Amino acid sequence: MARSTTITIVVPGALRQYCEGASELFLSAPTVRDALAQLERSHPSLYGGVCDETGRVRRHVNLFVNSHHVRDREGLDTALQPGDVLTILPAVSGG
């Protein structure tokens, strides 16, 4: 059975309007994928800023677990440990 852990999600300023202005959210999830699934249920507009309709993380959004980009670990299946920080950050791009 999957282990649940309490982690912190750091929300970028541009998306805080979709979670009552909160800069951090706290939830229990064993993986990044499960954390996003919980966000989809609890804060659908915030989730929509991170993932598109197909469930893919948006092209210009990066997810970090602590200091590691999830693409350098196990992607959305990256395991979360108690106390981990999942940071949502927009990429440096545009003009």
Partner 1 sequence: MAERVVLSIGTKKGLFVAEAAKSRGSFALRGPFGPGVGVYSALIDTRGTPRLYASSCNPFFGMKVLRSSDLGKTFKETAAAPAFPKDDGRALANIWSLETGDGKKELWCGVEPASLFRSEDGGDSWEMVPGISNHEHARKWQPGAGGLCMHTILRDGNRVHLGISTGGHYLSEDGGATFKASNQGVGAGFVPDPYPEFGQCVHKIARHEDAPGRLYMQNHGGWSEWSGPGGPRPDIGVLRSDDHGRTWRSIAKGLPSDFGFPIVVHPQDADTVYVMPLEPMTRTCPGGSPAVWRSEDGGDSWRRLARGLPKKRSYFTVLRDAMGADRLKTPALYFGTTTGQLWIGREGGEEWECLYDSLPPIHCVKVAVV
Query: Which residues would be at the binding site for partner 1 (CB under 8 A)?
Result: 14-15, 48-50, 52-56, 58-61, 90-91, 93-94
Minimum CB–partner distance for residue 82 and partner 1 (Å): 29
Q: In one letter, which amino acid is 93?
A: S
With respect to partner 1, which residue has the nearer C-beta, 54 or 67? 54
With respect to partner 1, which residue has the nearer C-beta, 56 or 71? 56
Minimum CB–partner distance for residue 46 and partner 1 (Å): 9
Q: Record the tokens describing residue 17, joined without a space.
A: 């309007």
Burial of 85 (0-12, 13-18, 19+ CB in 10 A): middle
Minimum CB–partner distance for residue 92 and partner 1 (Å): 11
DSSP 37: H
Cα angle 28-41-70, degrees, rounded to a multiple of 5:
55
